[in-house]
A = this chain, B = another copy of it.
Amino acid sequence: MTRLTLDISMSLDGFIAGPNQTLEEPLGKGGERLHEWVTRLEAWREPHGLEGGETNADSEVVTEALAAAGAIVMGRRMFSGGEGPWEDDPNPDAWWGDNPPFHVPVFVLTHHERETVVKEGGTTFTFVTDGIESALEQARAAAGDKNVALGGGADVVQQYLKAGLLDELQIHVVPVFLGGGVSLFGSLGIDAELEQTRVIASPSVTHLRYSVRR
């Protein structure tokens, strides 16, 4: 069976976005620093339709993660930044553009039904209103023999962790303190053992990979 995986950048103090998130600054104050290590890589820029970029020790980690994902599950706010009924969403479609960087089927957790949106480049957005297990089941069916990647946000990650459904996580620990914002793990309320399966360090980030022990 395909594995449910998470690849996410986190500050050393545990945040995946800084304080004061807005639609204009969805990563909050200072949050863009979490992604500088990846957005400068050719391995990331090319699938995002951007020219240029570096190749360094981080490139293989990114290429591997992108290649491993056959489908993605994300929360509604990761999709549009909005919440509530779609007719009230200021940004129901525009955020990820006409050719989103995912290039695989994406399953969006929401409380509000909506027809599947088909984009260019292989990305589809399917809206799932009947819960995280259903979204995972649909994503697994779409992923074939690849993995299902969790796209975030933190609330979605925590829901899957608490349900015991996350198999593997790779945290890209960025050498910065954000001082507040969106805590990746919060206070999960459950304890769990992890198996540390790989550590790769580059000068600007450390990639910590774990399997969740059952």
Q: Does A189 contact B (CB under 8 A)?
A: yes
Q: Contact check, B194 vs A188: say whether CB atoms are below 8 A apart.
A: no
Q: Number of A residues whose C-beta is below 8 Å from B?
A: 36
**A50 at interface (Cβ–Cβ under 8 A)?**
no
Q: Which residue of B lies closest to A187 (CB)?
A: B180
Please tell me if A173 contacts chain B, counting CB pairs below 8 Å: yes
Instruction: Jot down 5 A-B pairs with beta carbons below 8 A, ordered by A.
Output: A12-B171, A13-B185, A175-B210, A179-B187, A196-B205
| Beta-carbon contact of B176 and A193 below 8 Å | yes
Do A185 and B194 touch across chains, with their CB atoms under 8 A apart? no
Q: Mark A185-209, 1 if CB is under 8 A from B, else 0.
A: 1011111111110010101111010
Q: Which A residues contact B (CB, under 8 angstroms)?
A: 12-14, 18, 29-30, 161, 171, 173, 175-180, 183-185, 187-196, 199, 201, 203-206, 208, 210
Asked, given contacts A12-B210, A13-B188, A185-B14, whether A175 binds B199 with beta carbons under 8 Å apart, the answer is no
A29 touches B191 (CB 8 A): yes
B206 touching A190 by the CB < 8 A rule?
no
By a CB distance below 8 angstroms, the chain B residues around A195 are 175
Contact A173 B29, beta carbon cutoff 8 Å: no
- Given A188-B180, A199-B201, A201-B199 in contact, is the A194-B14 Cβ separation under 8 Å? no
